[in-house]
Structure 1
Amino acid sequence: MISEFNFFHHWYPLIPIEDIDSNSPTPVTLLGLRLVIWKPRSSTYYQVFLDQCPHRLAPLSEGRIDENSDNLMCSYHGWEFDQNGICTSIPQTENTKILTKNKQQFACVSFPSRQINGLLWVWPDKNSQDLANKTPLPLSPQIDADKGFIWSSYVRDMAYDWQTLVENVADPSHVPYAHHGVQGNRNNGQPIPIEIVKSTPNVIEAKIERALNSTITFEPPCRLEYAIKIGDSNKQVGLVVYCVPVAPGKSRLVGQFPRNFAKSLMKIIPRWWEHLTTRHLVLEGDMILLQQQEYYLQEKQETQSWKTAYQLPTEADRLVIEFRRWFDTYCQGKLPWEQVGINDTHLTINDNRHEVLDRYHQHTQHCSSCRNALNNVKKLQFILLILAIFSLIGCSIMPDEFRQQWGLLLGGFIVIELGIYSWLKWWLEPRFYFVDYIHADKK
């Protein structure tokens, strides 16, 4: 008998540790569970709680880390919780024995968590701590500095489902077309002979033998990894994507991008610039396509299987087929939304491109590098505007003899200041919020 895959008995990365704001609680959703990430200021380890105060179920993510106790304080009634989830203070009572007597009853729901490879991991079942301790994390062998690798990280909330995200990353043949001019060229599209070399309940492995020999590994439910060797050299570049199920029609991509060459270049390029000019564009190249594709697939699956809804005649489709077979065999073709009380999983097409391609809410607010860069861009605009105003005032009140000598130079400074201000205001700043992606414009 085939055992059913349990999505709640696996480790998931929630976010790169460098992106967590340690000064305030951070909300996040996994498998329909609303969680909160926080840590005492005196600790280096983050905790993951259910985002509900046991008192009246208010969201703890709206709380604060108290300066005196270093505990998580609920902003509704001031109840406080330590890093183990134990309630340490109830302002509405002077009877301290009530805390001791009801220690477990008043405690927050706390989930097992780990901090490894620069990511915060969580085990989304509070009742299986022993199993969590025995279960290895789905770590990438390429995220290893001892092997000579260096990597960058990225997180983005996607406007489509987990299964669509897995299917898309498992399909390299779309790259020259969906990512033309960014990561590929539509004129270079060619057959991709994918060979499935292993398929079990716990892993699917495939390989592509061509100019860039690639090994693709899917370790359910979240790690999907490419290891790409460049020619006959020892150079290797990787793509490590953790596909995180969030809610029906929603997923989160936590990505790591390792390589063992050109290390200085990765250190020189600011992380936020890489996100704006590369990572965003790759994901936005197929965001609209996939958001609508999954709607039509769900609609067709009401009367037929994906096997007839899709037409998959080439070797390039083999990994997609293998994933779909795995999903049908071990998950009955569905995610466990009913287990968390989500019964309505019907999807709709969102024609609002500003929502589907919303960089700010999908990424910027979650990324420390982009948050800080955006704040600095706004500050620099203010400084440049003030300088331009004072330069203009200075030029206007300057005595004629000084104006003849210095006026042209000062006027040049004003033009430069306003030019940089305009570039920041009208070109750079909007890229932290929204950039439309029109395939017809990609020549």
Structure 2
Amino acid sequence: MNNSGTRSLHGKKGGTMIRQRLIGCLRWMMHELNSADSIPKLSCHNHCGEALEINHADRQGFQGIWKTAVGPKKGQFGTQLTTFIAPNLMWHDLTTQEKNRTLTVAYCTPIRKGECRLFARFPFQFASPLPAGLMRYTPSWVFHLLQNSILEDDQIFLYLQERHLTQQKQGIPIAQSYYMPTRADRFVVALHQWLQRYTADPFPNKPLPPAIGREQVIERYHSHTVHCASCRTTLSRIKRGRQGMVMGALVAWITVQLYLLDWGGTAKLARVASISFIVCTIIWLSLGWLERKFYEGRSIPLRNVSEK
């Protein structure tokens, strides 16, 4: 199988407790799968009827199966398996009727109270060579930016959710802490049951660190970019590219000024310099927009952006 790469998020905020992060990974992986073009978006209208069956559960973990794939066209996308191997590995395995197979795999390792390290891999196998070729020649940093945005879509909520739940009394039933109205939530319920049954808290009786702001929750540079060779190298090239655009724009501006002051040059050269100045400015601004994505995510999650 091909692989879109490994994403390592060092010290990502939002919950060292396995209870919070594995549930967060489950929701994130579901979001990742449903972000693919070949799989329809999830909503309560087209997903509430999909029943997850837990067909195996013990101390080592459990596995669930959707006999019909998620989405309104039942059965068209094949069967999906969702697996949890204790204490910190989860994956989704989806094979379509066209023999396209996609896995979303996440290792979630608590490193201290309030933080965890997430390793994610996305193996895939296509029946047609075209999509496999496109994926092979797409730079890793493109996937990483997309995957970070998907993770951050839940990150802010999970960070606040953990702090809210730790303020509640211990031993409260799951149904009183979480709102899980659909049959698809059975996997989350099973995970809670496993955590409670085997007391899987890696930092018992440890307090959470002081609360941090939204900017720190969605920051990317220290949690990912600095640790990722692809993103780190691309960021360095972007910075050099912006510097080059500044120099190019400066040369173009000086050329135009020399012509306007009648100190040299031709009208044709001045026109070329003017266009070059505009192009350099646009590229400089575009690279600046891209550069910010290696430092921080969206302050407003996509799910909260109104569709117009």
TM-score (norm. length: structure 1)? 0.59
Closer, same or farther: CA 431–388 of 1 in aligned 2, 3 Å: same
Alignment partner of 1:432: what SS?
coil
Describe the superposition over 1:250-277 as per-residue Cα deviations: whole angstroms up to 9, x where unpaired.
112100001111211112211112222x
Residue pair 1:364, 1:432 contacting (<8 A) in 2 also = yes
* Counterpart check, 1:382 vs 2:243: yes
Which residue, out of 277, 290, 296, partners 1:428? 290
The residue that corresponds to 1:118 in the other structure is none
The residue that corresponds to 2:167 in the other structure is 299
1:298 partner letter: T
Alignment partner of 2:299: what SS?
coil
Unaligned 5+ residue runs, structure 1? 1-147
The residue that corresponds to 1:159 in the other structure is 13
Shift in Å at residue 288 of structure 1?
A: 1.1
Describe the superposition over 1:396-443 as per-residue Cα deviations: whole angstroms up to 9, x where unpaired.
335667322321112111111121112112x11111112313443242
Residue pair 2:90, 2:107 contacting (<8 A) in 1 also = yes
Closer, same or farther: CA 173–357 of 1 in aligned 2, 3 Å: closer
* Counterpart check, 1:345 vs 2:207: yes
The residue that corresponds to 1:190 in the other structure is 47
Shift in Å at residue 313 of structure 1?
A: 4.8
Alignment partner of 2:107: what SS?
strand
- Structure 2: how far apart are the matches of 1:195 and 1:171? 17
Task: Specify which structure has the bigger relative contact order, considering alpha-carbon pairs within 8 angstroms and separated by 6 or more residues.
Answer: 2
The residue that corresponds to 1:334 in the other structure is 201
2:41 partner letter: G
RMSD: 2.8
The residue that corresponds to 2:63 in the other structure is 205
- Structure 1: how far apart are the matches of 2:28 and 2:270? 59
1:248 partner letter: K
* Counterpart check, 1:310 vs 2:186: no
- Structure 1: how far apart are the matches of 2:278 and 2:24? 47
Closer, same or farther: CA 256–303 of 1 in aligned 2, 3 Å: closer
Describe the superposition over 1:60-117 as per-residue Cα deviations: whole angstroms up to 9, x where unpaired.
xxxxxxxxxxxxxxxxxxxxxxxxxxxxxxxxxxxxxxxxxxxxxxxxxxxxxxxxxx
2:147 partner letter: R
Which residue, out of 68, 83, 95, partners 1:229? 95
TM-score (norm. length: structure 2)? 0.82
Shift in Å at residue 159 of structure 1?
A: 1.5
- Structure 1: how far apart are the matches of 2:67 and 2:210? 39
The residue that corresponds to 2:26 in the other structure is 170
Closer, same or farther: CA 423–313 of 1 in aligned 2, 3 Å: closer
Closer, same or farther: CA 172–396 of 1 in aligned 2, 3 Å: closer
Shift in Å at residue 219 of structure 1?
A: 0.9
Closer, same or farther: CA 215–298 of 1 in aligned 2, 3 Å: same
Closer, same or farther: CA 291–179 of 1 in aligned 2, 3 Å: farther
Alignment partner of 1:319: what SS?
helix
1:265-280 mapped onto 2 (5 Å cutoff): 265-276=134-145, 278-280=146-148
The residue that corresponds to 2:300 in the other structure is 437
User: How many corresponding residue pairs?
Assistant: 285
The residue that corresponds to 1:410 in the other structure is 273
1:215 partner letter: L
Shift in Å at residue 152 of structure 1?
A: 1.9
Alignment partner of 2:271: what SS?
helix
Shift in Å at residue 188 of structure 1?
A: 5.6
Alignment partner of 1:362: what SS?
coil
Which residue, out of 256, 259, 269, partners 2:121? 256
Which residue, out of 83, 87, 91, partners 1:217? 83
Describe the superposition over 1:348-373 as per-residue Cα deviations: whole angstroms up to 9, x where unpaired.
654x2111101112211111111111
Identical-residue share of aligned pairs (%): 22
